[in-house]
Amino acid sequence: MGVNVAVVGATGAVGEEILKILEERNFPVDELRLLASKRSAGNKLSFKGKEYVVEELVNDSFKGINIGLFSAGGDISKEFAPIAVKANTIVVDNTSAFRMDVNVPLVVPEVNSDDIKKHQGIIANPNCSTIQMVLALKPIHDEAVVKRVVVSTYQAVSGAGHRAIQELKNESRSILENDGSFKRDIFPHQIAFNVLPQIPQSDAFLESGYTSEEMKMIEETKKILGTDSIRVTATTVRVPVDRGHSESVNIETERKITADRAREILSKFPGITVVDDPAGQRYPLATDAAGKDDTFVGRIREDNSIENGLNLWVVSDNLRKGAALNAVQIAEKLVNG
């Protein structure tokens, strides 16, 4: 039996990726409705060889729709997700609008798929950098109980959308050609050949000195893993990479877990591929992860500065598992149980 699906934000980077993944995974789409702002309405997108016209998102957009995949920004989700729910649409929301709502499950299917059953019409997709980290944390937490996490991220510009990707390319070209004509629009400082310790680039820092992205990782990790006892601290950084987030993750556990044991349990966990051959200079790279579904883990080693510590290098395609794929996997759970 087919499912009527709406993609909200269909012309954005994540929306376009959702369409690709729905097609790749042969999701049982009956009716497909592509929704976006008035500015993008009228654009045409292809799905399974058929051309679809993008419609303007309005209050009546969800009539007859079973599942709505939202990726058009938090304000849009706050306004239209409740409208969709009233129309009996189950919303899988890729924004931060509902993630910390106690009545909204925050789900990574490989980690806490049972939480999907608790939904009241809305299921939240976690932050991209959180998703890949909790995938790596889950088997270690089950084995040895994670006490504390220190994470530093190296996040691709695609996390800020299509225009950010283009800004990196244009600024790089301008610098290499020394033409001096480039006008910055997305980032507060040069991103080409540089790193920016501020994500998102448009937000002011919080009073604590953290950014909202860092706080998302801290709070979402606890909610997904179902415990407030894990202490998490984060520094999130934007790097001049097109696609694929990388993370240095330092973990302290209650019980000792060796690097060899960590490799063993990580390699068996769904959605994870271990790439860990230092002698052969093999470790996860953003360029290798781009376009792939799995989260890649390497540089697995014990942290000798504490009694029970591990270091991991975790890489994933932020537009796929970090956003679109995770949302589609949630939709698959809704359909297949």
CA quadruple 38, 68, 11, 50: dihedral positive or negative? negative
In this predicted structure, what is the pLDDT of residue 323?
97
In this predicted structure, what is the pLDDT of residue 202?
82
Give the Cα-Cα-Cα angle 188, 197, 318 (nearest 5 degrees).
95
Asked if residue 333 has pLDDT above 90, the reply is yes
Upper half-sphere CA count for residue 166 (Cβ side, 13 Å): 7
Q: What are the residue boundaries of the structural domains of the chain, listed by start?
A: 3-125+323-336, 130-317
Asked if residue 29 has pLDDT above 80, the reply is yes
CATH code of the domain occupying 3-125+323-336? 3.40.50.720
Mean pLDDT of the chain: 97
Mean pLDDT calculated for residue range 211-227 = 97
Asked if residue 1 has pLDDT above 80, the reply is no
In this predicted structure, what is the pLDDT of residue 181?
85
Q: Is the pTM of this model over 0.85?
A: yes
Is residue 128 very low, low, confident or very high in pLDDT (cuts 50, 70, 90)?
Answer: very high
Q: Mind telling me the catalytic residues? A: 128, 245
Asked if residue 213 has pLDDT above 80, the reply is yes
Mean pLDDT calculated for residue range 52-67 = 97
In this predicted structure, what is the pLDDT of residue 337?
78
Q: What percentage of the chain exceeds 90 in pLDDT? A: 97
**Residue 95 phi, psi dihedral angles, 5° rounding:** -100, 180
Distance CA 252, CA 284 (A): 22
Is residue 107 very low, low, confident or very high in pLDDT (cuts 50, 70, 90)?
Answer: very high
Mean pLDDT calculated for residue range 202-225 = 95
Look at residue 222 and give its three-state secondary structure: helix
- Residues 130-317, CATH architecture: 2-Layer Sandwich (3.30)
Mean pLDDT calculated for residue range 191-206 = 93
In this predicted structure, what is the pLDDT of residue 238?
98
Give the Cα-Cα-Cα angle 221, 335, 222 (nearest 5 degrees).
10
**Which residues does 211 contact at the CB level (< 8 Å), separation at least 6?**
198, 199, 200, 203, 205, 236
Q: What percentage of the chain exceeds 70 in pLDDT? A: 100
Mean pLDDT calculated for residue range 217-235 = 98
pLDDT, tens digit (0-9, with 9 covering 90-100), for 233-261: 999 999 999 999 999 999 999 999 999 99
pLDDT, tens digit (0-9, with 9 covering 90-100), for 256-308: 999 999 999 999 999 999 999 999 999 999 999 999 999 999 999 999 999 99
